[in-house]
Amino acid sequence: MNEIPTVTVGIGPLGIAEVVAVARGGAPVELGAEALDEIRRSRAIVDALADDPVPHYGISTGFGALATTHIPLERRTQLQLGLIRSHAAGSGPEVEREVVRALMLLRLSTLATGRTGVQESTARAYAALLNAGITPVVREYGSLGCSGDLAPLAHCALACLGEGEVRDATGTLMPAGEALAAAGIEPVTLREKEGLALINGTDGMLGQLALAITDLTALLQVADVTAAMSVEGLLGTDDVFAADLQDLRPQPGQADSAANLRAVFAGSGIRDSHRDPAACTRVQDAYSLRCTPQVHGGARDTLAHARLVADRELRSAVDNPVITLDGRVESNGNFHGAPVAYVLDFLAIPLADVASMSERRTDRFLDRARSNGLPPFLADDPGVDSGHMIAQYTQAAIVSELKRLAVPASVDSIPSSAMQEDHVSIGWSAARKLRRAIDGLRRVLAIEMLTAARGIAMRAPLTPSPATGAVVDLLRAAGWPGPGGDRYLAPEIEIAVDLIASGQVLTEVAVVTGELR
């Protein structure tokens, strides 16, 4: 078995792939030597200010609306501990393990820049929890996406103190103190400034954005595959995907989508059966077939913008106050989640539209007036059998939900902290609804894939393209029996969902086409 490469957390930025490797793949982490040097240097600056008579926010003052309250030296450890305990105020269902791990890694990444002033032992504790597979219990509700993802980050910090609840590497729920003791990890004792340093970041939003970008990159390729299957099974044409036609509108995402469609479609016997214009009287296909590259391409271009924002945010050191490169301790507003919140919301819009177009293609298969010779609802014995009638209902219900999830969260703001924090990003909520939307898109594409495979099989003895045929064969190998009388349909849908989620669909297609764009 190959070892998972270690991810080094240093003063330079992490990449999206590294975030996903730790969050989802369980890759171990280590702190780089330069990062440790910078952490020690900035901590010395904070220590030097500890007994300064001039007030410094978060070091010798209270927090938020209490920033004008001076805290005497002997009570500052209590100040930091109380901050974490009081801010660990989340509620609702547990957040997914991969999200919490991404959040912790990104907070560690900011600590490693040396701009936060934490102790070396605190940064090492975060790395130790990640490497031990200990995941703090973080709740669904609690972040307004400003002053950082406060409650989610506070729950993680609380676990490092040996308090609160965690799940160990096996997923067992237990008190944090027990889990740390079992792993040989010493609980952190916070000093000046550290409470703020552990909770003042956009890490929850950004971690979910990194995961979403990874998932959507693959799902947009799957969408090209399922669209090609539908166009083929509906006796549509691939002529409109020609490169010279796409070049007339030089949108990069559109060009990539069209290239994928051409590659997946290549060598189709079904397409060849109606290539003769004398035998095929249809002048042009419906928009849901013909305009696929334009919609899928627009989604790709939106995703490219989101990736740009994520890459910039991964290069950021978000804290307040922050220790500048020349050693000043300065208040700032970099914790505001607006840039990340906007793209989280933005991605939900094309996602819903890609799903909507997928549902429209599926529906065409089921309507004998538009399916070009296929039986109603792809039923084996129409009237006695209902075929895929209700599978389309399921798609429609999901698409309707995706349209609601496309309503932006970031246009809202609720003032907090006695009007000190009077404008917030709601970026955490944008991230949470995007995760639900991604799951919905995967299910919509799975139903299109299953329906198109049935339609293609019903075109026999005409043969599909090698790439679409590979998807049909993959479904059969996974337990899909092909066309036939009515049967329990939900398990077949889940087969298709799992094949997409596991990456097997793209793997099988790539054997024929090479890697899709």
For the chain, domain boundaries: 7-201, 208-513
- 282 sits in the region (left: phi over 0; alpha: psi -120 to 50; else beta) called beta
Nearest-angstrom CA–CA distance, 182 and 302: 45
CA 438 to chain centre: 8
pLDDT value of position 158:
98
CB 334 within 8 A of CB 318: yes
pLDDT value of position 269:
96
The three-point CA angle 229-234-238 to 5° equals 65
In the three-class reduction of DSSP (H, G, I as helix; E, B as strand; rest coil), residue 49 is classed as helix
Helices (H), 1-144: 16-23, 33-49, 76-87, 97-112, 120-132
Instruction: Determine which one of 57, 141, 393, 488 is catalytic.
Output: 57
What are the angstrom distances between the C-alpha of 40 and each of 9, 34, 36, 45?
15, 10, 6, 9
Q: Which of 339, 366, 330, 347 is nearest to 450 (CA)?
A: 366
CB 296 within 8 A of CB 224: yes
pLDDT value of position 65:
57
pLDDT value of position 51:
72
Domain 7-201 fold: Fumarase C; Chain B, domain 1 (1.10.275)
Listed in sequence order, the residues at least 6 apart from 257 whose beta carbon sits closer than 8 Å to its beta carbon are 220, 224, 292, 293, 296, 297, 300, 517
pLDDT value of position 78:
83
Nearest-angstrom CA–CA distance, 365 and 377: 7
pLDDT value of position 63:
63
Listed in sequence order, the residues at least 6 apart from 184 whose beta carbon sits closer than 8 Å to its beta carbon are none
- Residue bearing tokens 């999901």: 398
Residue 312 exposure: Cα atoms within 13 Å on the Cβ side? 11
pLDDT value of position 231:
98
The reply to whether 393 belongs to the active site is no
| 3-state SS record for 361-379 | HHHHHHCCCCCCCCCHHHC
Length of the chain: 517
CATH number of 208-513, picked from 1.20.200.10, 3.40.190.10, 3.90.1170.50, 1.10.340.30: 1.20.200.10
- Domain 7-201 shares a fold with domain 208-513: no
Nearest-angstrom CA–CA distance, 500 and 472: 13
pLDDT value of position 147:
81
Q: Which of 90, 88, 109, 95 is nearest to 22 (CA)?
A: 109
Q: What is the largest CA-CA distance in the chain?
A: 91
Nearest-angstrom CA–CA distance, 97 and 408: 25
Q: Is the dihedral of CA 456, 459, 465, 471 positive or negative?
A: positive
Q: Give the DSSP letter string of 452-506.
A: HHHHHHTTTTS---HHHHHHHHHHHHTT---S-S----HHHHHHHHHHHHTTHHH
pLDDT value of position 148:
83
Pairing of strands 29-31, 7-9: parallel
The three-point CA angle 267-272-274 to 5° equals 150
pLDDT value of position 72:
73
Q: Which of 341, 347, 343, 411 is nearest to 146 (CA)?
A: 341
In the three-class reduction of DSSP (H, G, I as helix; E, B as strand; rest coil), residue 70 is classed as strand
Listed in sequence order, the residues at least 6 apart from 161 whose beta carbon sits closer than 8 Å to its beta carbon are 81, 84, 176, 187, 188, 189, 190
- 235 sits in the region (left: phi over 0; alpha: psi -120 to 50; else beta) called left
pLDDT by position in tens, the chain (length 517): 467 899 999 999 999 999 999 999 999 999 999 999 999 999 999 988 877 767 776 676 666 656 666 777 777 778 889 999 999 999 999 999 999 999 999 999 999 999 999 999 999 999 999 999 999 999 999 999 888 899 999 999 999 999 999 999 999 999 999 999 999 999 999 998 899 999 999 999 999 999 999 999 999 999 999 999 999 999 999 999 999 999 999 999 999 999 999 999 999 999 999 987 766 666 689 999 999 999 999 999 999 999 999 999 999 999 988 999 998 988 898 899 999 999 999 999 999 999 999 999 999 999 999 999 999 999 999 999 999 999 999 999 999 999 999 999 999 988 888 787 888 999 999 999 999 999 999 999 999 999 999 999 999 999 999 999 999 999 999 999 999 999 999 999 999 999 999 999 999 999 999 999 9
